[in-house]
Structure 1
Amino acid sequence: MRIATEQLADIRGGLMVEELTESLAEVVNAVITTGKKGAVQLKLDINPASKGDAVVTVTDEIKKTVPQEKRTGTLMFATPSGSLQRQDPRQTDLPLVSTSATMPTLQSTPTESPSLRVVGGN
């Protein structure tokens, strides 16, 4: 009796084993990255070519469950028409005020220290 892995290598001329290997690697890497569970399933359907004949058709199906990273949400606002937008449609725009008209002019600070005065002395 031939070993199962040798028989699997013959399915689709070896393409099934290549696809299975790639799927397994993808799921293993995603499990390591996400820390979540994944799965790979190999299903083989074996159908007779005709009753009593030794010829069969083997059809494979590879299914994989790749864990996904959690995606962050985007805060958006709904408009009355049902559209989404990033700005709150209820928020009115505030007029901008020029800062040069409202800012007082700063005076420079003296570079010399003021002279000291003695109080109560002659």
Structure 2
Amino acid sequence: MTPFGEALRELRKHKGVTQQQMAAALGVSSAYLSALEHGRRGRPSFDFLQRVAGYFHIIWDEAEALFRLAEQSDPRVVIDTGGLPPAYTAFANLLARRIGSLEPSVIQEMTMLLENAANKG
């Protein structure tokens, strides 16, 4: 499941509607909605995100947060290390091979480390 998929499912459950009901209201198939919720589809289109925001009557900051989640939710990530030192490519490949076996606490630590490094640079 992706961050966006989790948020979408929570919004839908909070509103008390089924995937079929929501899909019909948004003009998509329930299979597409299910795939989004389970992280089997890539990032949704801006048009779809606007329809979701309208369906749930989400405005301003909440809509922006939902759109940010969608940006972070492509389950098939590509990391281009072309032109970087060999250690960067080795790190990216190691992460790709091992990400599924990392403990949540390790993911949190790595996330904090990367965010702190981005804030310094």
Q: TM-score, with normalisation over the residues of structure 1?
A: 0.21
* Structure (1 or 2) with the larger CA radius of gyration: 1
Q: Which has the higher strand share?
A: 1
Structure with the higher helix share, 1 or 2 = 2
TM-score by length of 2: 0.21
Which structure is richer in relative contact order (CA contacts within 8 A, separation 6 or more)? 2
